[in-house]
Amino acid sequence: MKRVGFLLKVKVDKLDEYKKHHENVWSEMLAALREAGWHNYSLFLHNNGQLFGYFETPHSLEQAQALMATQEVNTRWQEFMAPYFDANARPDEMFQELEEVFHLD
């Protein structure tokens, strides 16, 4: 299982809304993530908008993203979430993958 860490930047004026939407992620989106091999998925948000994401997958980040890209619900979710980020792209296309340098088993 590959561990993937990534960074994104949420607009500071949208932090509360962003967190609220993640209290009740659409059930069909959760199912699509699981079907695409995204496990133990977590998001951590700093009050400056820095977002750290983590998940485990049998795939590379690119493969995991490609599997999600085939899901219609993912397209809707990414369009819904796009206004919360600074760039003019889908959030799932802006991941800045981090290199894993240590893991305590």
pLDDT at residue 72 tops 90: yes
Which of the following CATH numbers is that of domain 2-98: 3.30.70.100, 3.10.20.30, 2.30.110.10, 3.30.1360.120? 3.30.70.100
Question: Tens of pLDDT along 22-63?
Answer: 999 999 999 999 999 999 999 999 999 999 999 999 999 999
Q: Tell me if 5 sits within 8 A of 54, measured CB to CB.
A: yes
SS3 state at 89: coil
21: annotated active-site residue = no
Percentage of residues in the chain with pLDDT exceeding 90?
A: 92
The span from the CA of 84 to the CA of 35, in Å, is: 26
Q: Domain locations in the chain? A: 2-98
pLDDT at residue 87 tops 80: no
Q: What confidence category does residue 99 fall into, taking pLDDT thresholds of 50, 70 and 90?
A: very high
The span from the CA of 56 to the CA of 24, in Å, is: 21
Of residues 21, 22, 59, 103, which has the active-site annotation? 22
